[in-house]
Amino acid sequence: MKILVTGGAGYIGSHTIKKLGRKGHELLTIDNLSTGHREAVLFGGFKKGDIRDPVFLKRVFSAFRPQALIHFAASAIVPESVTNPLPYWENNISAMVTLLRAAVEHRVKMAVFSSSAAVYGEPEKVPITEDHPQHPANPYGMTKLVGEGILADCDLAHGLKSVCLRYFNASGLDPDGELVEDREVETHLIPLVLKVAASHERSRMAAKAREQSRLRPVKPAGCPALLRATSDSQSSGAGSSLRPVRAYGPEGEQGAKARPLRHAPSAMRSVVHIFGNDYPTPDGTCVRDYIHVNDLAQAHILALEWLSREKRSGAFNVGNGRGYSVRQVVETARQVTGLPIPSQDVPRRPGDPAELVASSVKIRKVLGWKPEFPELEKIIASSWAYFGRGIEGRK
Ligand SMILES: NC(=O)c1ccc[n+]([C@@H]2O[C@H](COP(=O)([O-])OP(=O)(O)OC[C@H]3O[C@@H](n4cnc5c(N)ncnc54)[C@H](O)[C@@H]3O)[C@@H](O)[C@H]2O)c1
């Protein structure tokens, strides 16, 4: 199938592209690289551009003539959407209208949309089923709800059938180690926790190396790198103290060519902030349903197959149906890494519901979806393989 993918250079998009590419689909990613990485697009063609630009879209749709659209591109930092909502409406709604106008004009008949558990807001009951009332608790969630509404209208008016996948907390990483999760502004819990773990361990290793070099007059091999790691780890910018990750994939539209994936874990941190310890949950911290990104990617493949078969629209939760509190995530990360991970309780953030856990009954039954990595330990371990790189003697 010819599939146009917006935001395919991002975290979830790049994992989905890899799965779709391996199945032999003909892919074209469009991405403005505002948060994504070109090198993460391992299959198909790539065009750098913005979905807010109708001229760019017209060119892409006319040349590629996609049968289906997968729409990942969005602004997706929940707290930022509360403090600065207008760019969220612009990128998630105005841009989506521009994109769908081009899709309709070019007679695209299938779309898969990255929706979110944020459409539900503070749930009345958990696990949350797809027919649960939708009262988003933040502007980001509102934009996803409106996005679903626009797609419903496009179905009625233009026969554009769509699946809205309401992701719960996307997490984990490509088990082959080819893809990364690296954002300049990181708000997702698991990468934050693992950055703290790695940061502390690196500082400890650097201190040990300094101590050794102080005791020995001859500088040991590898010492400068360790010293450099310390200074990087204390900066708050996007510098990296780790070895670059390598990924192999297509260069432009010319085919496969090996090249390094430039990005490595950035913005080292010293403590995990736990926002709110007085929620009505067993340990007072927020509970979320963590879903491995590969299982999420698989849901897109099943959604496209369902759309081709059934030719009707639908909405599905994508979550494991099991919730973990923030404290449980930090504790599990301590076990997986074998490292002490300091945490600090701080006040609640606005717009954070207490508990978001999916009912995954519908997606299992209707799409035949089944998670391959439902265990939190495995999810965290898959991320640690990346965030813990360069730390000697650690898994
Ligand atoms: N990560 C999660 O836990 C989660 C949960 C629910 C829903 N979602 C949704 O899933 C989608 C993907 O999320 P992600 O975590 O991979 O985010 P991401 O930031 O890694 O990926 C988004 C991609 O879209 C691109 N992009 C953004 N605006 C664009 C524009 N105007 N034109 C072209 N490209 C643009 C970015 O460069 C990036 O590559 C988003 O729609 C997000 O709202 C994510």
- Residue whose Cα lies nearest atom 7 of ligand 1: it is 116
Considering the domain boundaries, does residue 36 fall inside one?
yes
Residues known to be catalytic: 140
What per-residue confidence (pLDDT) applies to 357? Answer: 98
What would the pLDDT profile of 248-265 be if each residue is shown by its tens digit? 222 222 222 333 444 445
Quote the ligand 1 centre to 11 CA distance (angstroms).
7
pLDDT(313) > 70: yes
Q: Domain residues for 147?
A: 2-174+291-319
Considering the domain boundaries, does residue 244 fall inside one?
no
Quote the ligand 1 centre to 77 CA distance (angstroms).
9
* Atom number in ligand 1 closest to CA 118: 6
Quote the ligand 1 centre to 20 CA distance (angstroms).
18
Q: Determine contact, residues 8/41, Cβ cutoff 8 Å.
A: yes
What would the pLDDT profile of 66-100 be if each residue is shown by its tens digit? 999 999 999 999 889 999 999 999 999 999 999 99
Q: In the numeric block, which tokens belong to residue 333?
A: 């990360």
Q: Phi then psi for 87, rounded to 5 degrees?
A: -60, -25
pTM of the predicted structure, to 2 decimals: 0.87
Considering the domain boundaries, does residue 137 fall inside one?
yes
- List all residues 6 or more positions away from 229 whose beta carbon is below 8 Å from its beta carbon: 202, 205, 206, 241, 390
pLDDT(223) > 50: no
Considering the domain boundaries, does residue 122 fall inside one?
yes
What per-residue confidence (pLDDT) applies to 263? Answer: 43
User: How many residues are given for the chain?
Assistant: 395
Mean pLDDT for the chain overall? 87
* Atom number in ligand 1 closest to CA 144: 43
What per-residue confidence (pLDDT) applies to 269? Answer: 67
CATH number of the domain that residue 144 is part of? 3.40.50.720
Considering the domain boundaries, does residue 120 fall inside one?
yes
Mean pLDDT of 160-187: 94
* Atom number in ligand 1 closest to CA 37: 39
Q: Determine contact, residues 379/328, Cβ cutoff 8 Å.
A: no
| Number of domains into which the chain is organized | 1
What would the pLDDT profile of 32-69 be if each residue is shown by its tens digit? 999 999 999 999 999 999 999 999 999 999 999 999 99
What per-residue confidence (pLDDT) applies to 378? Answer: 97
What per-residue confidence (pLDDT) applies to 204? Answer: 81
SS (H, E, C) 222-283: CHHHHHHHHHHHHCCCCCCCCCCEEEEEECCCCCEEEEEECCCCCCCCCCEEEECCCCCCCC
Q: In the numeric block, which tokens belong to residue 382?
A: 């898959």
